[in-house]
């Protein structure tokens, strides 16, 4: 208020006139005081005059003007003395204020009709150009231009800190106010261009302004560096992201994280020095300034890589072990970035989508599961991740009918096929089962913090144990193993089953001696058979080399009773007799439908040799009795044999060109022996037209019943009980049936199995179910 009154004496006088006497005196004193200050020691009002001249000079000196206008010629001495005068009059703050007002106008508004709003004009021009071209260079030039304005208008440093800082604040404020919203985007692109310059080196396309060394100081001058700090960071983040995606996607066979960090140190850090280590005098200082921000960016590198690898995880697992390096990278990233839950979620999702569906082979699922075990063991040795990811897979596998068979088949290393799930270099060890915590262990460690309630730290760790532990009991495996071994042993014709013995020894280590005792007996049967055969052959040589098995130690065979005709029967009898003399207390019962026979058939014009199943041999033997047989007669002669199987056997001979099908109608299929190749057969095999396509229809059935078939057989026994209880008690819920069946000796089915069986019975129309109550259909 006081200051203002000095500037406007007339106004003050008016007030004085209106005021009271006391006030008038007071104002008069003040007025005198002010006058003295401005006039100083000057005579009359010469001091005042001097002051007003100095004011004019200083104001003119400070007035912002167009960059294009010719610089006014200032006498530095004159200006200095003018400022001195103002200083003595304590009028510098006033000058500053008027300067600022002037600045405001020159930037934003019209002044006195002649000074156009200079900067606004420039900004508008540049931004229009940028909007049209989208070239960051324009923004670069705009920034440089603004810097020019800044320098042109800056009051000299000699005016003291107050003026220059007030100038800076005002200049920046006004510049920011005129910059349009689009500037931020443009500025971002400009920054990106500068960063690209650092990381990719100078290319011909880089605009000049971007390479201008004045650019960053200009940012600093204009306060852009502070104002757009978050923008700068996001430019860097985005650059890191693109770089990581470009260089690392799909590259799993080399360590990428260390390479990324090198890239950061070599390329990005020099750039980061510009915004983040402004004003650092020494390298040491710069380093401390960069520390915080540097670790933020390093974190971002890890996070980006982690996200990428998480997304790729399923394929990384597929590629294992080629993708080991990617796994190690991921492990390191996960230590820095806590994204374990994301990894688990992503993996579970992709597993569900890509693995656990009916279209996937059980073997593939198992292979993937095993890879997964190995991969996650690299990333997370305690196995928490594995536990979380594996759970759905294990549950799914448990529901698949052929899982056990697949696991067992892969356990029995096949030498040639080499697609076993288990690595050869993994030591063979006994199956481990989960143990309770050992509380006396001095090295005990608590479970990891993100472990679920079901998690057990000392879970079995080797692959086979993990696979076997999918199921609650390993009995199922032993049974399946028995079936598999039986199939393999019966297929051995050359007496070389060393491979099976070796497998069994390995499996014994895993499953223990006792459960595999049965398999041991099977192998012993093989050796015994060989020995007995040697003895029998030495007594009377025979073409027959049987495998004699101990019935109760082998899986159940497909029951089929075929009678071997003619000379085949004689061979059997002769061998059985010889066996009886060797072992008088035993006799042989032939499983005629199993095994294989090598035949040589001499026909009139040719000789046919073949290894055939017994049924085929039996049929062709019958053809030596007469040349034409109907299918029904043939079946009647060999005993109980399924029509489809019989047809298949006959068609096999048709394929070999030995028989010909002569069919008038479906019920009376007749086959004729071809002693001579008929003339019309041409070059191709006989009868291929009708028979060839049909042979493919009948699927080769394995001789040994699978575990499931065996269980179904056994279940039939219990049907009698179920039928009985449903008759006596009416409808029963499944739980009651299960409880009552448990009284039966040897009943070991679960409710689920019983449910499946009852369902099958329902399909056959034996029972019906309503509201969970089962009833007999009558």
Residues that bind another protein (CB under 8 A): 490, 493, 517, 520-521, 524, 528, 543-553, 559, 561, 567-568, 571-572, 575-576, 580, 583-592, 594-603, 609, 614, 617, 620-621, 623-624, 673, 675
- Tell me the closest approach of the beta carbon of residue 749 to another protein, in angstroms: 22
* Residue 459 or 535 with smaller CB distance to another protein: 535
Residue 516: both structure tokens together? 């595999």
* Residue 154 or 603 with smaller CB distance to another protein: 603
- Tell me the closest approach of the beta carbon of residue 621 to another protein, in angstroms: 6
- Tell me the closest approach of the beta carbon of residue 562 to another protein, in angstroms: 12
Contact (Cβ atoms closer than 8 angstroms) between residue 313 and residue 346: yes
- Tell me the closest approach of the beta carbon of residue 663 to another protein, in angstroms: 22
- Tell me the closest approach of the beta carbon of residue 524 to another protein, in angstroms: 6
Residues 6 or more apart whose CB falls under 8 angstroms from that of 198 comprise 267, 268, 270, 271
The structure tokens 């005002």 sit at: 170
Please report how the helices 631-638 and 643-655 are oriented relative to each other, as an axis angle in degrees rounded to 10.
110
Bin 90: left if φ > 0, else alpha if -120 < ψ < 50, else beta: left
* Residue 594 or 766 with smaller CB distance to another protein: 594
* Residue 395 or 524 with smaller CB distance to another protein: 524
- Tell me the closest approach of the beta carbon of residue 382 to another protein, in angstroms: 42
* Residue 116 or 624 with smaller CB distance to another protein: 624
Residues 6 or more apart whose CB falls under 8 angstroms from that of 567 comprise 621
The structure tokens 């090295």 sit at: 443
Strand partners of residue 732: 774
* Residue 312 or 525 with smaller CB distance to another protein: 525
Q: What does the alpha-carbon distance between residue 228 and residue 218 come to, in Å, rounded to a whole number?
A: 13
Contact (Cβ atoms closer than 8 angstroms) between residue 555 and residue 705: yes
SS (H, E, C) 306-326: HHHHHHHHHHHHHHCCCCHHH
- Tell me the closest approach of the beta carbon of residue 546 to another protein, in angstroms: 4
* Residue 297 or 653 with smaller CB distance to another protein: 653
Q: Give the DSSP letter of residue 622.
A: H
- Tell me the closest approach of the beta carbon of residue 412 to another protein, in angstroms: 21
Q: What does the alpha-carbon distance between residue 124 and residue 143 come to, in Å, rounded to a whole number?
A: 13
- Tell me the closest approach of the beta carbon of residue 486 to another protein, in angstroms: 10
Alpha carbon 404 to its chain's center: 26
Upstream peptide bond of 321 is cis (omega within 30 degrees of 0): yes
Residue 602: count of CB within 10 angstroms of its CB: 8
Residues 6 or more apart whose CB falls under 8 angstroms from that of 488 comprise 412, 497, 500
Dihedral over alpha carbons 560, 564, 568, 574 (to 10 degrees)? 80
- Tell me the closest approach of the beta carbon of residue 637 to another protein, in angstroms: 15
- Tell me the closest approach of the beta carbon of residue 713 to another protein, in angstroms: 13
Contact (Cβ atoms closer than 8 angstroms) between residue 490 and residue 594: yes
* Residue 261 or 587 with smaller CB distance to another protein: 587
* Residue 128 or 534 with smaller CB distance to another protein: 534
* Residue 14 or 675 with smaller CB distance to another protein: 675
User: Which among 201, 192, 209 is positioned nearest to 148, based on CA atoms?
Assistant: 209
* Residue 76 or 567 with smaller CB distance to another protein: 567
* Residue 324 or 596 with smaller CB distance to another protein: 596
Q: What does the alpha-carbon distance between residue 535 and residue 380 come to, in Å, rounded to a whole number?
A: 61
Alpha carbon 746 to its chain's center: 46
- Tell me the closest approach of the beta carbon of residue 592 to another protein, in angstroms: 8
Residues 6 or more apart whose CB falls under 8 angstroms from that of 56 comprise none
* Residue 293 or 571 with smaller CB distance to another protein: 571
Q: What does the alpha-carbon distance between residue 510 and residue 431 come to, in Å, rounded to a whole number?
A: 5
- Tell me the closest approach of the beta carbon of residue 681 to another protein, in angstroms: 18
The structure tokens 């260079």 sit at: 137
- Tell me the closest approach of the beta carbon of residue 468 to another protein, in angstroms: 24
* Residue 378 or 574 with smaller CB distance to another protein: 574
Residues 6 or more apart whose CB falls under 8 angstroms from that of 692 comprise 655
Residues 6 or more apart whose CB falls under 8 angstroms from that of 539 comprise 578, 581, 582
Q: Give the DSSP letter of residue 564.
A: P
* Residue 442 or 609 with smaller CB distance to another protein: 609
Contact (Cβ atoms closer than 8 angstroms) between residue 435 and residue 457: no
Q: What does the alpha-carbon distance between residue 211 and residue 190 come to, in Å, rounded to a whole number?
A: 11
User: Which among 205, 181, 201 is positioned nearest to 130, based on CA atoms?
Assistant: 181
- Tell me the closest approach of the beta carbon of residue 689 to another protein, in angstroms: 24
- Tell me the closest approach of the beta carbon of residue 493 to another protein, in angstroms: 5
Q: What does the alpha-carbon distance between residue 461 and residue 373 come to, in Å, rounded to a whole number?
A: 9
Reduced to 3 states (helix: H, G, I; strand: E, B; else coil), residue 51 is helix
Q: What does the alpha-carbon distance between residue 219 and residue 224 come to, in Å, rounded to a whole number?
A: 5
Sheet-wide strand order for 773-776: 732-733, 773-776, 767-770
Q: Which helix (H) or strand (E) holds 660?
A: strand 659-663
Q: What does the alpha-carbon distance between residue 252 and residue 324 come to, in Å, rounded to a whole number?
A: 7
- Tell me the closest approach of the beta carbon of residue 515 to another protein, in angstroms: 12
Q: Which helix (H) or strand (E) holds 739?
A: helix 734-741
* Residue 124 or 517 with smaller CB distance to another protein: 517
At 185, give phi and psi (nearest 5°).
Answer: -60, -45
* Residue 295 or 624 with smaller CB distance to another protein: 624
The structure tokens 């078939």 sit at: 709
- Tell me the closest approach of the beta carbon of residue 653 to another protein, in angstroms: 12
* Residue 589 or 763 with smaller CB distance to another protein: 589
């Amino acid at each position: 208020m006081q200051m203002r009154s000095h500037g406007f004496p007339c106004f003050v006088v008016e007030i004085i006139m209106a005021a009271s006497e006391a006030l008038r005196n007071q104002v008069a004193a003040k007025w005198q005081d002010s006058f003295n200050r401005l006039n100083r020691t000057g005579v009359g009002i010469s001091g005042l005059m001097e002051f007003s001249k100095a004011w004019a000079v200083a104001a003119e000196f400070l007035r912002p003007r167009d960059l294009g206008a010719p610089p006014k010629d200032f006498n530095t001495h004159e200006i200095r003395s003018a400022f001195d005068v103002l200083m003595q009059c304590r009028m510098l703050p006033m000058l500053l204020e008027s300067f600022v007002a002037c600045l405001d106008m020159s930037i934003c508004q019209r002044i006195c009709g002649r000074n156009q709003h200079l900067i606004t004009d420039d900004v508008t021009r540049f931004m229009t150009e940028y909007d049209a071209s989208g070239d960051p260079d324009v923004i670069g030039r705009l920034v440089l231009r603004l810097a020019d304005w800044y320098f042109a208008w800056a009051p000299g440093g000699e005016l003291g800190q107050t003026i220059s800082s007030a100038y800076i604040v005002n200049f920046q404020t006004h510049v920011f106010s005129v910059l349009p919203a689009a500037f931020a985007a443009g500025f971002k692109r400009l920054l990106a261009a500068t960063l690209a310059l650092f990381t990719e080196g100078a290319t011909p396309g880089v605009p000049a302004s971007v390479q201008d060394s004045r650019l960053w100081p200009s940012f600093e001058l204009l306060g852009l560096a502070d104002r757009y700090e978050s923008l700068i960071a996001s430019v860097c983040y985005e650059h890191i992201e693109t770089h990581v995606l470009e260089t690392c996607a799909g590259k799993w066979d080399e360590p990428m994280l260390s390479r990324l960090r090198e890239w950061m140190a070599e390329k990005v850090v020099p750039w980061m020095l510009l915004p983040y280590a402004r004003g650092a005098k020494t390298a040491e200082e710069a380093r401390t300034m960069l520390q915080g921000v540097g670790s933020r960016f390093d974190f971002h590198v890890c996070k980006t890589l982690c996200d990428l690898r998480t997304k790729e995880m399923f394929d990384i697992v597929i590629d294992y072990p080629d993708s080991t390096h990617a796994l190690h990278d991921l492990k390191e990233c996960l230590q820095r970035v806590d994204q374990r839950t994301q990894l688990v979620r992503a993996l579970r999702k992709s597993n569900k989508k890509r693995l656990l569906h009916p279209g996937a082979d059980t073997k593939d699922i198992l292979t993937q599961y095993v890879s997964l075990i190995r991969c996650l063991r690299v990333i997370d040795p305690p196995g928490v991740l594995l536990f979380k990811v594996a759970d759905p897979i294990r549950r799914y596998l448990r529901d698949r009918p052929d899982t056990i068979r697949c696991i067992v088949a892969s356990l029995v290393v096949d030498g040639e096929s080499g697609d076993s799930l288990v690595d050869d270099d993994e030591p063979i060890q006994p199956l481990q089962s989960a143990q309770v915590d050992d509380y006396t262990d001095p090295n005990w460690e608590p479970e990891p913090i993100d472990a679920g309630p079901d998690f057990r730290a000392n879970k079995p760790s080797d692959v086979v144990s993990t696979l076997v532990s999918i199921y609650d009991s390993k009995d199922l495996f032993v049974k399946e193993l028995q079936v598999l071994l039986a199939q393999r042993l019966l297929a051995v014709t050359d007496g070389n089953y060393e491979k099976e013995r070796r497998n069994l020894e390995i499996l014994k280590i895993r499953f223990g001696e006792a459960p595999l005792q049965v398999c041991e007996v099977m192998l012993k049967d093989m050796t015994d058979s060989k020995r007995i055969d040697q003895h029998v052959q030495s007594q009377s040589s025979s073409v027959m080399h049987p495998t004699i098995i101990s019935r109760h130690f082998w899986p159940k065979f497909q029951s089929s009773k075929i009678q071997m005709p003619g000379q085949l029967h004689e061979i059997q009898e002769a061998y059985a007799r010889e066996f009886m003399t060797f072992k008088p207390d035993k006799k042989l019962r032939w499983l005629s439908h199993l095994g294989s026979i090598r035949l040589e058939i001499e026909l009139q014009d040719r000789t046919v040799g073949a290894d055939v199943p017994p049924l085929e041999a039996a049929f062709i033997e019958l053809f030596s009795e007469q040349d034409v047989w109907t299918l029904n007669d043939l079946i009647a002669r060999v005993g109980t044999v399924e029509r489809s199987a019989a047809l298949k056997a006959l068609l096999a001979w048709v394929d070999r060109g030995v028989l010909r099908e002569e069919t008038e109608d479906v019920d009376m299929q007749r086959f004729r022996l071809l002693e001579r190749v008929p003339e019309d057969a041409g070059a191709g095999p006989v009868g291929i037209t009708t028979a060839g396509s049909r042979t493919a229809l009948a699927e080769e059935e394995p001789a040994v019943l699978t575990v499931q078939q065996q269980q179904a057989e056994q279940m039939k026994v219990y049907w009698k009980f179920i039928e009985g209880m449903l008759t006596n008690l009416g409808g029963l819920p499944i739980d009651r049936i299960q409880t009552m069946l448990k009284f039966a000796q040897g009943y070991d089915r679960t409710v689920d199995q019983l449910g499946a069986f009852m369902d099958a019975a329902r399909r056959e129309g034996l029972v019906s179910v309503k509201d969970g109550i089962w009833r007999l259909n009558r």
